Amino acid sequence: MATTEVERRRGQLAALSIAAVVIIVGVPLWWRTTETYRAWLPVSQIKELAKLQLQLSADVEVVFARGTVTPEQQKKVPLTQTQEEERAIDEDTALRYRYETRYRTATIMEEDALNQPSAAEADLSLHTLSESPCGSLVVYVIPESSSLLPEDVNVYIGQRRTALLRIGPQMRVGKTLEQLLAHLEPRIKQVLQVMSFSHNDITAALSDRVRFSPDNKESIADSMRAFKSSPGYEITFSLLNPDPKSHRLHWDIEGAVQTYIQPLLTKLSPVANFSIDSQTLYYTMLGVNPRFDTSRSAYTLNADSLAHVINPVEARLGSNAASSNPVLNFLLYVPDAQHSPLYIQGRKKQEVPSNAFHSPRWGGIMVYNVNGFYGSEPEFPVDINIDMAKVMGVFLAQLRLLLGVQSSTPPPGFLVARCGSTGLADWELDRLMWSRSVENVATATTTITSLAQLLDQIGNIVINDNIAQQVSSAVTSLQLAVAELEAGNLGFALQYSKEAILASEKAFFDPSLLHLLYFPDDQKFAIYIPLFLPMCVPILLSLLKIVSEARQRRREKQAKKD
Amino acid sequence: MHVASWFQKCIEILIFYDFQEELVVRPLHSGDIYASFQFRTLWETDFMRGNKVSHYRLFPKSLGQVISKFSVRELHISFTQGYWRTMQWGQPYLPSPPGAELWVWFQDSVTDVDATWKELTNVLSGIFCASLNFIDSTNTVQPSASFKPLGIGNVTDHRFLRYATLPREIVCTENLTPWKKLLPCGSKAGLAVLLKSEKLFHSSFHSQAVHIRPVCQDWQCKTTSWELRQTLNVVFDLHNSGQGKREWSLFKMFSRTLTEACPLASSSKIYIDITDNPEGEQFELSPATSLLSQAMVLGDRRTFSVYDLTQQDTFGSVRSLNLLIRWKSTEGDMLRPLLHAERYVAGYGLQTGEIHTLMYNHHPYRSFPVLLLDSVPWYLRLYIHTLTVTSKGKDNKPSYIHYQPSKDRVRPHLLEMLVQLPPNSVTEVTVQFERALLKWTEYTPDPNHGFYVGSSVISSLVPSTVAMDTNSTRERPLFSSFFPCKEESSYFVRVYTEPLLVNLPTPDFSMPYNVICLTCTVVAVGYGSLYNLLTRSFQIEEPSPGLAKRIANVIRKMRGVPPL
């Protein structure tokens, strides 16, 4: 009896020690050898970014010209007001606009500048006095009697970051300063919305994060037209000559780009890098056959058929071999001699004066009729010099649209200065930078959060150190961008948001993430079962047996005590 | 004033851009027919300064961007389906190995050549819809002597050269379409209308290539320009597509006739080789042309009938040109090509083997040196000490050997030799190799098909029978002006051998799982018995009562009687 008991104890001990060895050595070994390398990711910070609380701060300086405030008011004037406005977009995204308004009176030099005969000259000389930083505004309040502005114009928006605001007729001198400020406030806000950012622009820029409600369709249409924010764009001008037998076309694209396009792009260089090239394509036809209109003895393209024009042409355009930036295509189509002249017809059968159209997020096409060059007895091929000023005027307007420089109609009573040689006013650039930075932040946060989600869901993906590094740098840049937006440093905010977008895209599209081997669970089990099943079943069974025996013994002991 | 400025513009265009197209048809003695297209685009631009050029007219934008982005000095790429049979067909105007071949000279401003090369191959694979992205360090070599720049420029430091072949590459329509897109007229006008893929790929040999190089504009080389040559060579088989009749026409070959030249081309010509047919006894050519031209091609003076497509009267009254060659006799013999080479693998079993390369010099009395380039993948481990070169039964010591041993999974073997071929002889180069075992993920999708080893390249200056024309300024047909000719007495030839197909020891690919299952079972059985021995306690047990006794006990239990 005693020997069997000893034997049984020995067996139990052996089973227990084998189980212990399996658990202490085997399981960690198996775990370590089958583990995938997953570098640490800043998950908590990413979660914070998933709940985005953006604050946009704009500095406004309101300068009272002589004759708008009384001397007593003047004494109180150097003061600062801050207004905040909070808007919740959806449960994860909230916006807060903060306007910091500083009031002061005009200096003598500024007074001199405001005494210039016309608003444009005043604008120019005010600009030479001081340069306001990117993202800030200066509003000059001028007396009602000022001759700077025409009768029906109350606000003049200059080429830089200044606006002239004519004080209303009801604000005669004598009212209190508070009343004056209360009168000015809504109007200044209106100026701000034109010159820096409006709620519609910002929500449109957030389209990557936020699903749209149908009430702001117009801003969606605007944002759908413009290209998505990207660190660089490739601009390609293509001259399509479907009939080289009849037309020998010459276009001075180098000169035209230098004269018309380059100034705009230089101005836009803080927003993105641009590269320009051009090509000539022969024997490229449009995808639709134009219809002959006998009343005008011309061929016409309907607005409805324009959608089918691009596809066959695009096959010839060629993709950009040298970079992966989005391409803006501008095509100049010279119709062949048999189908000339060719006019584009609008939806209401009216002629489109520019004879051009654009395709959202793709580019623009202009039809250039050359039958005026034929003369009385054309001798083919005809040499034709293309009038680049006419062409580039159209393309420049399309380029502004496609880049998202919005030319929304100003509210009544506003006069917007014609943009100068650069094709872009400073405040338009600011506006673009505001919406681009917000868009970049939105895109980068969605990229980073979806990457984090994906990595969280699929445990098999290897996360290398370089990806972790990209993710952390994206998160840092994002935090910096948000902070700079909050501080109102627009230039830095855009810079950081661009870095964030680059790093996040790089992490998201890193090829090493795809190295997830196809190793589904059923196959894993098929490999484990032949070893693990025969090894684990006896261990488990003997453990169960030991437990049940121990329990029984305890019960017996209990029974004995009782 | 307008007219004057237009005129000036025209001159400008003439100087800056030039496009020529050309088709050479050579009736072969086997009854097959060889058609070679060449399209040349010249673009005068200052490329060496590295300034960004971005306005393209006749030159295709995609290639221009590639050149400027990757600082390419010269780029040669060819896609070939089928093997050029030198002994039957003679030398091709532009040789190319089966599969894909790419060699690039980079400018000396490139700092990281390998990274640039990798990126370039990826971009080119996108442009040409080919698997060039499979070019990596394991099939790229830097030949020291065989591939010299064909354009201007004296950089011969082979650090800036990369050469790779993909002998397995299959060439088909998807490669032809992007190639045609690079032509200014596309396939809409000019000679390119003949390029219909269903006919071109229904042939014994098809090769298309793109060569980009800088060339001199004039003999003083004051101005330089980029030259883009697109060539397409095709051999139509007599029996396959001639329906047994010895008769050829443009329509039969390409199912198209010609109606116009490309309006952008400054010259557009068709050449028919009639050297062997001076009196019309071999074949008959219609419509007849009085225009004859002589050119030095491959060391021989050849005579061609020329059809100039820019002249309206070429097309005759029917306004379409359908060239017809009707054979009269099957006799006549071809001038044997002076240089020719073969290669094969010898040996048995899956462990070792031997590569034999045979080089034939058919010249009756002249010996000449050849450069042999061999690039062998790492999984054939060459025993370089077994390298022997013999001609006419005697050891022939190469005067120059450049050998770079392979590194497993990193780079291939590179063997370059300068060998003197004695007159009228066969020179045999043999080297033994051992087949390596690959890891199971390194096998190609169809490993039992075998593994390809790219063609050997033999480059040589072959003595010519006639004096060559070294005057580079004279207008010459495109097909005779590709390889620069510096000596009057010899001409440059490049010969490619057959690619090799070598079997490697191939495992059964379900093996890993079988091994796992088997070892696991063995381990489990051993473990199970060991476990039993260790944990079970053994004791003697009373034998269990028999069946009858148990039944009796059940009955006794029911009756309430104590059991037995």
Residue numbers in A near B260 (CB within 8 A): 245
Task: Please state, in angstroms and rounded to a whole number, the distance separating the CA atoms of residues A545 and A536.
Answer: 14
Q: What are the start and end residues of each CATH 2.60.40.1170 domain in chain B?
A: 339-502
Q: Say which range, A143-147, A364-368, B147-151, has the weakest mean pLDDT.
A: A143-147
- Averaged pLDDT for residues A260-281: 87
Q: Which residues 389-428 of chain B have a CB within 8 Å of chain A?
A: none
Give me the long-range contacts of A85-88 (CB less than 8 A, separation at least 24). Answer: A87/A199
- pLDDT, tens digit, for every residue of A545-556? 889 988 998 999
Measured between beta carbons, which residues in chain B are less than 8 angstroms from residue A234? none
Q: With a cut of 0.90, is the ipTM above it? A: no
Closest of B273, B293, B238 to residue B26, by C-alpha: B273
At A205-261, the pLDDT tens digits run 777 777 665 555 555 666 677 777 888 888 899 999 888 888 888 888 888 888 888
Superfamily of domain B339-502: Mu homology domain, subdomain B (2.60.40.1170)
Coil, helix or strand for A382? strand
Mean pLDDT over the full length of chain B: 85
Residue B295 vs residues B26, B78, B515: alpha-carbon distances, Å:
14, 25, 68
Cβ(A140)–Cβ(A110) below 8 Å: yes
Closest C-alpha among B298, B242, B254 to residue B89:
B298
Residue A59 has pLDDT above 70, yes or no: yes
Is B60 in the A-facing interface, judged by CB distances under 8 Å? yes
- In chain B, positions 257-276, which contact chain A (CB-CB < 8 Å)? 260, 263-264
pLDDT range class, residue B2, cuts 50, 70, 90: very low
Residue B361, helix vs strand vs coil: strand
Which residues lie below 8 Å from residue B209, measured CB to CB, with a gap of 6+?
Answer: B76, B77, B78, B79, B94, B96, B229, B230, B231, B232
B525: chain A residues, CB-CB within 8 Å: 534
For residue A313, what pLDDT is reported?
84
Closest approach of chain A CAs to the CA of B507, in angstroms?
Answer: 20
- The band of B431, judged by pLDDT with boundaries at 50, 70 and 90, is very high
What average pLDDT does this structure show over B76-86? 92
Model confidence at B271: pLDDT above 70: yes
User: What radius of gyration, in Å, describes the C-alpha atoms of chain A?
Assistant: 35
Mean pLDDT of A22-33: 88
Q: What is the pLDDT of residue B12?
A: 44
Quick check: B54 and A250 CB within 8 A? no
- Cross-chain Cβ contact B10/A527 below 8 Å: no
Q: Which residues of A touch B58 (CB under 8 A)?
A: 280
The residues, any chain, with a CB within 8 Å of residue B117's CB and separated by 6 or more, are B104, B106, B135, B140, B162
Closest chain A C-alpha to B540 CA, distance in angstroms? 10
Is-cis flag, bond preceding A117, omega within 30?
no
Q: Which residues of B touch A540 (CB under 8 A)?
A: none
Mean pLDDT score across all residues of chain A: 80
Asked if the Cβ–Cβ distance from B531 to A4 is below 8 Å, we say no
Give the pLDDT of residue A5: 78
| pLDDT of A406 above 70 | no
Check pLDDT > 60 for residue B242: no
Predicted structure pTM score: 0.84
* pLDDT tens string B113-141: 999 999 999 999 989 999 999 999 999 99
What whole-number distance in Å separates Cα of residue A243 and Cα of residue A261? 28
Structure tokens at B319: 């306004």
Q: What pLDDT is stored for residue B6 in this prediction?
A: 46
Backbone angles phi, psi at B166, to 5 degrees: -125, 90
pLDDT value at B310 more than 60: yes
Greater confidence (B289 vs B235) lies with B235
How far is A502 from B175, CA to CA, in rounded Å? 34
Cβ–Cβ gap A14/B62 under 8 Å:
no
Residues whose CB falls within 8 Å of the CB of residue B111, separated by 6 or more in sequence, listed in order? none
